[in-house]
Amino acid sequence: MIEAGKLRHTITIKSLKPTRNSYGESTQEWVDFLTIRASKEPLIGNEYFNAAAVQSLVEIKFRARYRSGITNAMRIHHGTEVYEILSAINVQSLNRELLIYCKLVV
């Protein structure tokens, strides 16, 4: 189990929702899916190189309590930073801890 004190950051996970603009055209916008507490950890050493071999430009890892429904089609907003989710991993498939590997959206 993750210690509560390590979950210092509030992050908002957003998903794309189909909408219509003022002209009636079909568009998509990012809407809030879930707001949770998480730790934010840069990837270092072997972990960075192993992640980069599979997914290029993996830069950061968020660690949170497990929540279902988070996919790599979503984004994370943390303050003014926006991250693309590259993978969301249910650690040991125990539904207790979630690792979310991301890259900064430029």
Buried b (16+ CB within 10 A) or exposed e, 49-74: eebeeeeeebbbbbbbebeeebeeeb
Tens of pLDDT, residue by residue over 23-48, are 999 999 999 999 999 999 988 755 55
* Tokens encoding 81: 């930073």
For the domain that residue 71 is a member of, what is the CATH number? Answer: 2.40.10.270
* Contact in structure between 46 and 58 (CB atoms under 8 Å): no
Tens-place pLDDT, residues 62-96: 999 999 999 999 999 999 999 999 999 999 999 99
Number of domains in the chain: 1
Higher confidence at residue 5 or residue 48? 5
Half-sphere exposure of 93 (CA within 13 A, CB side): 0
Element (H, E) at 46: helix 45-54
Q: Which residues form the domain of 23?
A: 4-104
Positive or negative: CA dihedral 90, 54, 39, 29: negative
